[in-house]
Structure 1
Amino acid sequence: MTTTDLSNCDREPIHIPGKIQSHGFLISINQELKITYCSENISAFAPVSAASLLGTPVYFLETVILNKMDGFITKLLNIAKTKEGFRPLNPYPIHINGKDYNLIICDSADQYLLEFEPSNSDLKLDIQLVIGSMLSEIMSAADLSHLLNNAALQIQTIIGYDRVMVYKFHQDGHGEVVAEAKTPQLSTWLGLHYPASDIPQQARELYKLNLVRQIADVSTVPSTILTYPELNDKPLDLTQSSLRAVSPIHIQYLKNMGVASSFSVSLIHHGELWGLIACHNYTPRFIHYKQREAAKLIGQVLSSSLSFRQQEENQHKNNRLKTAVDDLSRHLLRYNNIEDALFNHEVTVLHAVEAEGAVLAYDGQFHHTGKTPDNIFINAIVNWLHENMQEGIYATNCLAEECPAAIAHQKTASGILACRLSRELKEYIIWFRPEVVSSVTWAGNPDKPVEIGENGLSQISPRTSFETWKQMIRQTSAPWKNEDFRSALQLKDEVAFAITRKATEIRILNDKLKEAYDELDAFSYTISHDLKNPLTAIKSYSQLLQRSSQLAPKERKMLDGIVIGAGRMQSMIEEVLHYSKAGQIKAKPRLVDMTMLLDDLKEQLMVANEHTPLNINIGSTPSIYGDETMIQQVFSNLVGNAIKYSAKTQTPVVDISGEHLENQVRYRVTDNGIGIKLHDIEKIFDLFTRSDDVDEYEGTGVGLAIVKKIMEKHKGRIWVESELGIGSTFHVAFQVRELKKA
């Protein structure tokens, strides 16, 4: 649907039109009780001209027009000047030229407005007698629909208009007829929608300030308000005036509808314009002041009832959602797992907000409940929120307008409400609402035609067609309410607290674990160091005894076993010392030339295995940022193991190569050895762990544990891929210039 710029409607100064409706006349009096403004049509009601009244004191008005010498207007205005909050007891019955009028007094900035209008009425009811029963009928309505229809019917009874409508404003400003009372011959307007431009913004502001508004006859010519420049140089503010003239645009709008008279009562909810009781008559009809006040009273009672019922409904929903959040809060305290607390009980995260699906994006995973989109789209939404979400909470009932990718997911995600848990980690709670397809029937095409005026500016012409015009609303969900926002934010705080508590617990456990590891390292180092000397003595004495020529074969065999066992224990102690030092020694990071390091290592290993037909192939060798001694130990262990477990093949082959990725340097060491069983791969890096089929190969089960500890110190990773009987590939990945300092 195309739109039209209606800004000139909103700029029209309708509170200072400089004119009044011609069924009455107006006089304005300043603080010195002198007449400063007067409507030009006064001569049609009294034997005096407007020009002759301007600048004269009030008593002149009283004597010439009212033929009274008691000065009651002067007395009233003096009281108003001295008593703050003074409210006149309108209307005051008066006689002019033998005719009855009502005088209505109100203030306007530093002026007092005196409005004179007819007192005649065809009302056959006694307002005081019937209004109580009318209010009782209104208040006894079973639901909102009956309440609004009762109010429309009662106001029609009071003012006698052909059509009375309750007109509700939607969030986007457009109006809808939600209740109606009419004469039988008229077609219904119930359910019709009217564009927001039909009632401009400044008119809505006036409706909040002056609760009743009458246009007695759209065909009459308004009367100009006169003043002298020396008396006043600004237009008279008619915000509170009953006689205020109407915008020509609105008059033409009513004529286009065939309306001759109109009347409205404002409905106010929490200080804002909820809607109007809009009344139309198809012949000119003036409404007596007391009838207008009775209708105003019904409007005020209806406004209060709307507020009460809405408050009651909101409170009921708020209590329901709060109960759900309280249950989830208890789950979060009781269960250590956040996902379990929010998803695996009778009350889930879905109950915290009125929605049909919910997702928790947390710790790199998506957890679902209810009707939600697939993970691909959820990931796209999370990235979109990361880029576009400014506050801690975001909601829309038409996601496709802001995120076009949502068009394909309207059945589950036409509307979303999202709370951010962590911007850096892209963690969110997201609730989803599906599309609600609706058909809106407009009273005519909602686009107003535009004409270009002589000044080149766009001028709005009132609509001339009110034939029903239907529009399908798609890709839109039910709107989110304040109670949804409140509950979502409360749950967000509870989850954030649980995450913080969990992080604190993990930090405490890590501190304790580090302390235990430090103690274990120190203990291992001490024990290993203290065992070295006794073992050296045992091995040395055993070797001395082996030199004796007097040993029996059995004794020599026993000594050989002691020497071999002592040697193995010495090797194991050395490995344990290396393992302890790997955790205790402070790293000295620098850029390590891997070409030189691997060439030196290859030369050493080729010399050590000179009797083996060994091939060591070195590919690309990107530099690594780290501790050179530790890195040398990593590759010495990995390549040494590759040679050891390939030794029994016909031609052992070891391939070493590296690559520089975006944020890491990755190396792999591949052999054609015996391979590793699948069930051994998970524990291959544990201390003192060896596969159960490598007993014939020397080893202590410490080397790979040392490699893992060094990689952890470098904030890197190590993993293995292996196929039994084919060989193994060990991968090590170092972060680019990212190293643990201790």
Structure 2
Amino acid sequence: MITRVIQEPDGLYLSEGIQEYGYLLISDLDFNLVSASENCQDWMGSAVAPALQNNLWDLVSTYFPDFYADMHRGVHQVLLDDKQRLLLEVLIHQVEPYFLNIYIFQNYLYLEFERKMDDSTVFFPKFEIVDKLLKENKGKIWEMATSYISKISGFDRIRVFQYCKDGSGHILAECIEHPELEGILDCYYPDIDIYRLAKNTHVVNAYRYTAKVNGKTIKMISNGKDNPNLSHTGVRMIAPLHADYLLKDGVNSNLSVSLFTEDGDLWGYLFCQSRNEKKVNLVKREALVYFVQMAMNRFLEETRVQSRLYKETIRDFELKLKSILMVRNNLAESLFEMSKELCYFAKADSMIILFNGLLYSYNINIGLGKILGIKDKIATLTEDFIFGDHEFILNYGEELELDFDRFAGVGGLYVEVPHKCTILWFRQGTVKNKKWIEKPEKIMQRGRKNEDFVQEENPIMDIWHQTTFGTSDEWEDDELYFFRRLRELIINSEGTMAAEITNLNQEVSNLNKALDDYANMVSHDLKNPLSAINLSTQMLLQRPEMAIEMRNKMLKNTKDAVVIITDMLGRIHEFSKVKEYDYKFEPVYVDEFLPQLVEFCKLRYESDKTEVVLSSLLPVYGEKTIIYQLFQNIVGNAIKYSAKVDNPCVRIEAVMRHEFVCYSISDNGIGIAKEEIKTVFDNFKRMSNASDFEGSGLGLTIVKRIVDRLGIQIEVESELNVGTTIYLWFPNEV
């Protein structure tokens, strides 16, 4: 038996009746007539009420003697299969042709008559042409469907309406042939009574047709005891609320086709509407509905194909990530190497990876403390390991002291074992505009400070424009699917790696690499203080008559250089005694050593004419000696590679940005080619335009290793023959 029914009272029962082009008889399953439309008296020749005492078959034998056998056989078939509907053609008064629809619903037998209407303006769709059109219009199914239906049906306006997740509706395709009907393509309907009613009605019907919205309603006459439901009756008259709404919109004829997903959920509707009464024969109506269903099936198939291709692309990505893992044996670095791809699949602007306390960031500057705050907040919002919120900053930004200028939406995943790994993706905020047909009262009542509503002056419709600030695009099912797949891959990959690599080999490898790195750094960075000692000593030997002030300066330079070398050698000694060096973080006052460092570099590269501008040198957190080496390499490069230009200038300044101290070191030197910027941190890498300058190609390699170890973020901007700027983002936290 048909099980879907209208869920709430909405005036769609006997009291509303049927349309004037049909008749309706209803009996119980013992064939006692319990209800009939009042206009049945046209062919009965008398009032309907007395006939309700009679047996259905007595009435059929009296008024439909030529069709008694067919009708009896049809009723017998639906009694055997109550999900079936049987369609016959009969004559009333032996003259007028009618369609007869026989079906059972909620233990009542329905005989629904519909006049065979003259509809010469409606053409029967040829399904081979329809199928060809659908195949040729990939990605534009609904645009094609609305245009084609408009041509073959003669309706004045065709619309496709899709339900959104929040219950509102979106007009995503439209074709209008009548100049007096309004166009509302890409507009939205709020979740109002009229669409709750429509949803309630269409969930139980493949389509609903009203030939004349303001036509006469034929009452149903009942025996006073039974109250059968008309929700499945095709000739039932439209509800008053819906009728008033359509008439206000200038519509007097409506055919609305239900669009269902593969799971049987109501996806939306296709509306065929006309200014005046529109007669469409039942058979042609069924053909139109079948065509719409073909379009919906094609649309769902395209959606499935897109989803399948997306998942295949994810599998290709997984294979690539696995191959990188096999080579590198480092999950965090392998993931970070593929940050661009990870953001592509997540449809995100930036991301971070937090792995065993180490922070890797891509395309965003954000401190560890802020990341931990976001992570902790997410843990209070969900027990799932997957998360997505397009209004995260709107909802929690004030609490976490985060604002909209970096991002608005957050999505992510968390893996606890065998290592603690959190990946967060960020989406920037956008300004979203929506045009509403009818006032979106429920949305306006939220009173959100980031939403603005303005009513449009329109003589026919109540149109509202909504502008929303500070939210990102919503995280869709595809992105959440990717999060889950990636999480599974991380768990599986970590298990495989743990089986392949022993703790001892890893420990030895890490220590040896650290020793090699530190040896390279020290041997490279000793050059500056040694150059200062060498130059100062030479000047003292060659100029015995040197003024006492200059002599003292040379001696101080020598002494300061010795202190720096002693400190570095002490670090090497400490490093040799431990398996993993633990840097001691403390406030480092850059202004205390940077002026002297600049003088050392100018001495080494013989660039007395270089102007070095220092401004607002803010303190940073880090390990003092390593911070010195960091600035020594960057400032040294800036002075060296600008020394041969006219009016060489180096600028060094610091500013507070969010939870960072950002240092910029700019020069007007030879610059770096755009295509070479991505390789500047490679071992022994020298730029193609640097052959006239001394160097080993290790300076920026050392810089990269330092910033990685100290959790500093670095960015390089450069243009050939214009200069280079390096940004250092120091977390403003211990």
Give the TM-score, by structure 1 length.
0.61
CA contact (8 A) 2:251 2:275 kept: yes
Query: What is aligned with 1:638?
Result: none
Alignment counterpart, residue 27 of structure 1, candidates 19, 25, 29:
25
CA contact (8 A) 2:159 2:173 kept: yes
Q: Measure the CA separation in 1 of the matches of 2:201 and 2:365.
A: 45
Larger radius of gyration: 1
Paired amino acid for 2:18:
Q
Give structure 1 stretches of 5+ with no counterpart.
Answer: 1-8, 451-462, 514-674, 688-719, 723-742
Could you say what secondary structure the match of 1:68 adopts?
Answer: helix
Q: Does 1:354 align with 2:351?
A: no
Query: What is aligned with 1:103?
Result: 100
CA contact (8 A) 1:324 1:351 kept: no
Query: What is aligned with 1:267?
Result: 259
Query: What is aligned with 1:679?
Result: 571
Q: Measure the CA separation in 2 of the matches of 1:144 and 1:249.
A: 36
CA contact (8 A) 2:122 2:284 kept: no
The equivalences for 1:365-444 within 5 A come to 365-371=358-364, 375-405=368-398, 409-410=403-404, 412-422=406-416, 427-444=421-438
Give structure 2 stretches of 5+ with no counterpart.
Answer: 1-5, 445-457, 509-566, 580-622, 626-734
Alignment counterpart, residue 236 of structure 2, candidates 232, 235, 244:
244
CA contact (8 A) 1:25 1:42 kept: yes
Q: Measure the CA separation in 2 of the matches of 1:283 and 1:269.
A: 32
Shift of 1:242: 0.4
Give RMSD over aligned pairs.
Answer: 3.8
Q: Does 1:151 align with 2:148?
A: no
Query: What is aligned with 1:286?
Result: 279
Paired amino acid for 2:71:
I
Distance 1:473 1:143, change over 3 A: farther
Distance 1:294 1:157, change over 3 A: farther
CA contact (8 A) 1:395 1:418 kept: yes
CA contact (8 A) 1:173 1:195 kept: yes
Alignment counterpart, residue 204 of structure 1, candidates 199, 203, 208:
199
For each residue in 1:671-703, what CA deviation from the matched residue of structure 2 results, as whole angstroms up to 9, or x when unmatched?
Answer: xxxx9983376259679xxxxxxxxxxxxxxxx
Q: Measure the CA separation in 1 of the matches of 2:379 and 2:363.
A: 24
CA contact (8 A) 1:265 1:296 kept: yes
Query: What is aligned with 1:484?
Result: 479
Q: Measure the CA separation in 1 of the matches of 2:501 and 2:149.
A: 68
Paired amino acid for 1:123:
S
Could you say what secondary structure the match of 1:144 adopts?
Answer: coil
Q: Measure the CA separation in 2 of the matches of 1:99 and 1:47.
A: 16
Could you say what secondary structure the match of 1:678 adopts?
Answer: helix
CA contact (8 A) 2:349 2:363 kept: yes
The equivalences for 1:199-598 within 5 A come to 199-201=194-196, 203-230=198-225, 232=226, 235-270=227-262, 271-344=264-337, 348-371=341-364, 375-405=368-398, 409-410=403-404, 412-422=406-416, 427-447=421-441, 466-500=461-495, 509=504
Q: Does 1:183 align with 2:177?
A: yes
For each residue in 1:207-260, what CA deviation from the matched residue of structure 2 results, as whole angstroms up to 9, or x when unmatched?
Answer: 233111012223235333333355x3xx32223210223332222222222322
Q: Measure the CA separation in 2 of the matches of 1:153 and 1:75.
A: 42
Paired amino acid for 1:266:
S
Return 35-44 or 207-216, whichever deviates more: 35-44
Could you say what secondary structure the match of 2:203 adopts?
Answer: helix
Query: What is aligned with 1:57?
Result: 55
Could you say what secondary structure the match of 1:472 adopts?
Answer: strand
Shift of 1:297: 0.8
Q: Measure the CA separation in 2 of the matches of 1:156 and 1:258.
A: 17
Distance 1:400 1:106, change over 3 A: farther
For each residue in 1:385-410, what CA deviation from the matched residue of structure 2 results, as whole angstroms up to 9, or x when unmatched?
Answer: 12222212111222245424489544
Shift of 1:488: 1.5
Q: Measure the CA separation in 2 of the matches of 1:449 and 1:10.
A: 25
Could you say what secondary structure the match of 1:305 adopts?
Answer: helix
For each residue in 1:278-327, what CA deviation from the matched residue of structure 2 results, as whole angstroms up to 9, or x when unmatched?
Answer: 12222233322122102111111011110111111112222112211222
Could you say what secondary structure the match of 1:54 adopts?
Answer: helix
CA contact (8 A) 1:328 1:347 kept: no
Paired amino acid for 1:161:
F
Give the TM-score, by structure 2 length.
0.61
Could you say what secondary structure the match of 2:441 adopts?
Answer: coil
For each residue in 1:355-382, what CA deviation from the matched residue of structure 2 results, as whole angstroms up to 9, or x when unmatched?
Answer: 2222112211221224565545433211
CA contact (8 A) 2:43 2:93 kept: yes
Q: Measure the CA separation in 1 of the matches of 2:401 and 2:84.
A: 59
Q: Measure the CA separation in 2 of the matches of 1:379 and 1:62.
A: 79
CA contact (8 A) 1:10 1:202 kept: no
* Percentage identity across paired residues of the two chains: 19
CA contact (8 A) 2:24 2:36 kept: yes
Distance 1:62 1:326, change over 3 A: same
Query: What is aligned with 1:68?
Result: 66
Matched positions, count? 503
Distance 1:198 1:332, change over 3 A: farther
CA contact (8 A) 1:358 1:369 kept: yes
Query: What is aligned with 1:609?
Result: none
CA contact (8 A) 2:254 2:272 kept: yes
Paired amino acid for 1:678:
G
Q: Does 1:168 align with 2:162?
A: yes
Shift of 1:498: 3.6
CA contact (8 A) 1:123 1:158 kept: no
Distance 1:107 1:18, change over 3 A: farther
Q: Measure the CA separation in 2 of the matches of 1:258 and 1:380.
A: 55
Q: Measure the CA separation in 1 of the matches of 2:395 and 2:163.
A: 24
Paired amino acid for 2:80:
T
Paired amino acid for 1:241:
T
Distance 1:399 1:323, change over 3 A: same
Q: Measure the CA separation in 2 of the matches of 1:226 and 1:331.
A: 77
Shift of 1:328: 1.5
Distance 1:55 1:434, change over 3 A: farther
Paired amino acid for 2:27:
I
Distance 1:38 1:343, change over 3 A: same
CA contact (8 A) 2:23 2:114 kept: yes
CA contact (8 A) 1:29 1:111 kept: yes
Alignment counterpart, residue 114 of structure 2, candidates 112, 117, 121:
117
Q: Measure the CA separation in 1 of the matches of 2:431 and 2:296.
A: 30
CA contact (8 A) 1:47 1:65 kept: no
Q: Measure the CA separation in 2 of the matches of 1:248 and 1:238.
A: 15
Could you say what secondary structure the match of 1:475 adopts?
Answer: strand
CA contact (8 A) 1:10 1:201 kept: no
Distance 1:63 1:346, change over 3 A: closer
